Amino acid sequence: MFSDFHPTASWKVLRLRSDLLHRTRDFFRTRGFLEIETPLLSHDVVVDRHLDPLRVTLPDDPRHPEVGRTMWLQTSPEFAMKRLMAAGGEAIFQITRAFRAAEQGRLHNPEFTIVEWYRQSDSYADGMTLLSDLAESLLGLPRARRVTYKEAFQTHAGIDPHRGTVAEVLAALESLQVEVPAGLADDRDGILDLLLSQIVGPRLGVDQPTILCEYPPTQAALSQVRASEPPVAERFELYVRGIELANGYHELLDPQVLRARNRANNQLRAADGKPTLPDESRLLAAMEHGLPPCTGCALGFDRVVMLAAGVSTIAEAMAFPIDRA
Amino acid sequence: MATYNTSDFRKGIKVQIDGTPYLMVECNFVKPGKGNALYKCRMRNLLLGTMLDRTYKGGDSLESADVEDINAQFLYRQGDTFFFMDQESYEQYELSKEKVDEAWKYLKEGMVCSMTLFNNNPIAVEPPFHVVLKVEYAEPTVRGNTATGLSKLVKLETGAEISVPSFIEQNQTIKVDTRTGEYVERVKE
């Protein structure tokens, strides 16, 4: 009946995957991190314009499975892990599954494995150092180089991403022969993303892993914005051979700022014709109580396995991708 | 008209852009962790055979193209017009020489081909991968030249010229691979 019951990863890669799981645990445990577990199914979910969670109805009566409480499969364990940090967590990590709707391709599967960690009192720089150490230990590569978002865009696209006008970004896209999809031309962050995914990103981490840092404040997500001139978001991403592997934040602590970002994201989601997501959450309550200064980061584990194994799709790094799940 | 949303985009779907049918031959999903989802698509114009590269963002959609492949028998040629008949409905279709393209070289009366219809109009025809045709004219084989490696041009019953090994003679029948246009073997009648 099903001729595609076979795994898409070889046993050789599955053994490497197991080895990398052990090495990840060892890395954090030797540094005093506590391994924790948080729910995959939650009342709360990250509110992001471009992250689409899977909604699950928990039926009150199994005969009417469509009626009941709305829960969300987590797009990352971020909210629950920060609640643990607010409740006294010092250094925590977990290896878990995350779900993102409509993400499927060479480097995407709607269900994937994420490694996420938080450590109290870590500065922005400390967070990047820890990520670099982890990448070094898992992939056996040299230390990561830090490049600011501005430097990367100036080098590879010839524009200043903070001060450049929309017209300048569009001109750069045109001279680099990148097609701008209809309806994206008036979305400043959208066209910066386009440059990042088509031109800048693929050129990062080619000789040596690269940590991209100091993002535009409009792309802060859940990071703090530093009041420099121009202001920059204390967010960072690791690139290895042009592939984005991890995303971290010097964490935003102010619940009022998060509320405002949630509202803004929901307005953009509504404008995009997408369902809005819950504005309020237990994370906000935890932040009202007080989230200690900390830095956190999430790593796409399947992509790490893919790079370590030298295969070119994440399907070859996992036993059963979505089409065979 | 049915539509395909970006989440339905994949290799093999047939879509319509500005009234022209395209076959999606490649679709790559690209997305920065926190950024816009993009679908980089490569599509073949089913009327011209040219390639089109387009990038779409998540949530975009394309109209599906009403494209269908049928088995059609080649009936006859009249000037620059080729006549076919649908094997199931017996409906007749005519196709210009331009649209028949390279296929004319292999079309023999009675041959069943694969014909592509767009909005019920034929837009392309493909002969079977292998066809057996008679050599209508060949220069006589020069004695002593039957050794390996030598080839010559002959004219087939369809009027097409093709390169064959030098031992092939007039009135013999040969098998031709229509995908490459190359001689495969001699066929004994």
Sequence ranges of the domains in chain B? 3-64, 67-126, 130-187
Residue B32 confidence (pLDDT)? 85
Question: What is the model's pTM?
Answer: 0.82
- Give the chain B residue whose CA is nearest to the CA of A237: B33
Question: A239 with A146: CB under 8 angstroms?
Answer: no
Q: CB–CB of A106 and B31 under 8 A?
A: no
Fold of B130-187: OB fold (Dihydrolipoamide Acetyltransferase, E2P) (2.40.50)
Taking Cα atoms as reference points, which of A234, A231, A238 lies closest to residue A221? A234
Tens of pLDDT, residues B90-101: 999 999 998 888
Partner A, chain B 22-61, Cβ-Cβ below 8 Å: 28-38, 53-60
CA B26 to chain A, closest CA, distance in angstroms equals 12
* Stretches in chain A below the pLDDT threshold 70: 1-2
Cα–Cα distance, A293 to A56 (Å, whole number): 33
Q: Is the ipTM of this complex over 0.85?
A: no
CATH number of B3-64: 2.30.30.30
* pLDDT number for residue B151: 86
3 state SS of B124: strand
Burial of residue A295 (CB within 10 Å: 0-12, 13-18, 19+) is buried
Q: Rg for chain A (alpha carbons), in Å?
A: 20
How many residues in chain A?
A: 325
Q: Using an 8 Å CB-CB cutoff, list chain B residues near A215.
A: none
- Contact check, Cβ <8 Å, B33/A244: yes
| Mean pLDDT along residues B114-120 | 91
Question: Cβ A196–B31 below 8 Å, yes or no?
Answer: no
CB atoms within 10 A of CB A100: 24
Whether pLDDT at B189 is above 90:
no
- Predicted confidence at residue A66, as pLDDT, reads 92
Strands (E) located in chain A: 34-35, 41-42, 54-59, 68-73, 91-99, 111-120, 145-148, 210-215, 225-226, 232-240, 243-250, 294-300
pLDDT tens digits for range B12-55: 899 999 999 999 999 999 998 888 899 999 999 988 889 999 99
Position B145 pLDDT exceeds 60: no
Q: In whole angstroms, what is the distance from residue A318 CA to residue A321 CA? A: 7
What is the pairing mode between strands B161-165 and B151-156? Answer: antiparallel
* Angle of CA points B62, B31, A102, to nearest 5°: 60
Q: Provide the pLDDT confidence category of residue B110 given band limits of 50, 70 and 90.
A: very high
B130-187: same fold as B67-126?
Answer: yes
**The token pair that represents B65 in the structure block:** 């193209």
- Cα A282 from Cα A207, distance rounded (Å): 42
Q: For the segment B55-108, what is each residue's pLDDT rounded down to a tens digit? A: 999 889 999 998 889 999 999 999 999 999 999 999 999 999 988 888 999 999
pLDDT digits (tens, 9 = 90+) for A178-217: 999 988 888 999 999 999 999 999 999 999 999 999 999 9
Fold for the domain defined by B67-126: OB fold (Dihydrolipoamide Acetyltransferase, E2P) (2.40.50)
In this prediction, residue B33 carries a pLDDT of 80
